[in-house]
Amino acid sequence: MTTVLVTGGAGYIGSHTCKVLKAAGYVPVTYDNLVTGWRDAVKFGPFEEGDLLDRARLDEVFAAYSPAAVMHFAALSQVGESMVNPGAYWRNNVVGSLTLIEAAAAAGCQNFVFSSTCATYGDQDGVVLDEDSVQMPINAYGASKRAIEDMLENFGASHGLRSVIFRYFNVAGADPEAEIGEFHQPETHLIPLMLDAITGKRDALTIYGSDYDTPDGTCIRDYVHVMDLVEAHVQGLKWLESGKESRVFNLGTGTGFSVREVVAQSSAVTNADVPVIEGNRRPGDATRLVSGSRRATEELGWTPDRSTLPHMIADAWRWHQNGHYDK
């Protein structure tokens, strides 16, 4: 069976990817330093603990497994944190990714699937965000991901590295079987924060900013079910395995929902009130981020069938009631 090295495979998206890779006949090897990932989430293949900045450790893992491809999820990913501590994002995300890419190239691993973000586009209100939209990141998180995209293009020209880059919009939901799910410490994502408020794990959900130029004053985002998202990654891997050239794909549904709309839907799905308090805007948050692209559907055959708010919230709620991880 084909082996795939999954960096960040103990995290939210990486662990779901490992589950889908195993079901598709691959051997996912998780490489994770467990700073934000969870050992309990590694259920679907071998685990190798290590840091992206440790070139010697990466070389050991490449030599041990000879992976045919890398799926790269490992990254710091909190927008607010990136505004106050940009150095951590440039060091971990950019220097770490450079170390990984150099190790892959040295090992002759030529297929690379990269987890990027719609945050590379910045705040472009009124613009349909497709893969050719200008990239103008407004925070260090988005800027670091943009730099890695450029890096992959450079290594494609110099070393023949072929990559599929996915720029996601907001990821939500959980494994429908509740075997794995979304669990962060501290938690920063809207839906789990909301479910925490419903269950009393926190006093209330804070809405950061109610004066945006949107119909109800709150930010608008395009939400994608995590299982739809990871299916796209397997399709991207198959794209590279078939010999096709490097490509960038947005992963979004083309439909945006405001924070207040997500709150209302969560209340409807769980049949419970969501306690809410209103706070100030957070630096680095864009007003509206919605995909206008169908490239992934047309070229990969990707269909985000699970990516409706009721479906995403219901799966997240199932995990939230029973799921937790330990290191």
Which of 76, 78, 27, 25 has its CA nearest to residue 48?
27
pLDDT at 300 (0 to 100) = 96
In tens, the pLDDT along 16-40 reads 999 999 999 999 999 999 999 999 9
Q: The pTM is what?
A: 0.93
In tens, the pLDDT along 103-144 reads 999 999 999 999 999 889 987 766 778 999 999 998 999 999
- DSSP E strands in 132-258: the ranges are 162-168, 170-172, 205-208, 220-221, 223-225, 247-251, 257-258
In tens, the pLDDT along 244-275 reads 999 999 999 999 999 999 999 999 999 999 99
In residues, how long is the chain? 327
137 within 8 A of 82, measured Cβ to Cβ: no
Domain(s) labelled CATH 3.90.25.10 in the chain stretch across 190-221+254-322
The three-point CA angle 2-35-250 to 5° equals 55
Domain(s) labelled CATH 3.40.50.720 in the chain stretch across 3-172+222-251
Tell which CATH classification among 1.20.1250.20, 3.40.50.720, 1.10.287.3510, 3.40.1380.10 matches the domain 3-172+222-251: 3.40.50.720
pLDDT at 327 (0 to 100) = 47
Tell which CATH classification among 3.40.50.12780, 3.90.25.10, 2.40.110.10, 2.40.40.20 matches the domain 190-221+254-322: 3.90.25.10
What band does 189 get if pLDDT is binned at 50, 70 and 90? confident
Q: Which residues contact 132 (CB under 8 A, 6 or more apart)?
A: none
Catalytic residues: 141
